[in-house]
Structure 1
């Protein structure tokens, strides 16, 4: 039961842990579905970051004497299900790559919102070490989002994956 901000914070940590666990399962599938080598690399790189993010959540939970398991992130479950559906319905190539990027951007935005909220709660509760660790993850999530957007739109004008998908 959530009766105070501390309990809500711990619930949010468990939700994020579930989200990261689900993403660790989903990213290898996205690597396999991607055709663009830079996109494959971006997903592979983010898989390693995600493992580190999950580990940081385990450290935070251990510091507070709580188990990270116990919550299911239904939002991530839906985002992964949608990504899988669209990935299956779209033939391989640039259009599927654009679909994968759109799905991954949605995931990153969800995670940015979740980690931003958790960081705010940690700050209010005076959990300074948690704030530092959550901020590190927020930086990684923001960088991943920017990298995906750059792949989609290219460096100048629209010479990225979205341009290839027009053909």
Structure 2
């Protein structure tokens, strides 16, 4: 990579890889929880992730090197950790609370990668990309509020 534009394109592919992997991961998490509210939150997060993937697909296709193969290793490792946690959680309450915390950690990660992408789009003055990524980031901030309130309700 020699330019900020190439760096942004790389990051965009990285986010796209993350979202692809998270579709499967969120589906697994939703299927494992026995907490009705957490299940609903995870199902909503799953649908939003599918929407994000669709929006990102259009952005990725608009760049010349859209066939670039980049794997988000952070999400790959995260999903392995989730599976390991699920395998070790023997009590229902522990599983549900742990999945709530993991969901919050996931949303924080997504906020960080979308924030970075927005930084690049602002430098490059890519207004349409900024709008699309900004809408996704706003949705992730809302997801964080939802998950945090669910955790608070669980503790109270």
Query: Could you report, residue by residue, the CA deviation over 1:21-68 in whole angstroms, capped at 9, with x for unpaired residues?
Result: 110011111111111111101111111100110111111122333416
The equivalent of 1:33 in structure 2 is: 32
| Cα distance, 1:118 vs structure 2 | 0.3
Please, which runs of 5 or more residues in structure 2 have no aligned partner? none
1:124 counterpart residue number: 123
Give TM-score, length-normalised by structure 2: 0.94
CA shift for structure 1 position 92:
4.5
Match of 1:112 in 2: 111
| Larger relative contact order (CA 8 Å, sep ≥ 6) | 2
Distance across 2 between alignment mates of 1:82 and 1:51: 22
What residue is the counterpart of 1:51 in the other structure?
50
Gaps of 5+ in 1: 155-159
The corresponding residue for 2:41 is 42
More moved, 135-144 vs 91-100: 91-100
Cα deviation, 1:84-132, whole Å, max 9, x if unaligned, reads 1111110252211111111111111111110000011011101100000
Q: In structure 1, what is the Cα distance between the partners aligned to 2:65 and 2:128? A: 16
Question: Is the 1:33–1:92 contact (alpha carbons within 8 Å) kept by the matching residues of 2?
Answer: no
Structure 1 residue 69: deviation in Å? 5.2
In structure 2, the partner of 1:97 is: 96
RMSD of aligned C-alpha atoms?
1.4
Instruction: Give 4+ residue runs of structure 1 displaced > 3 Å after superposition.
Output: none
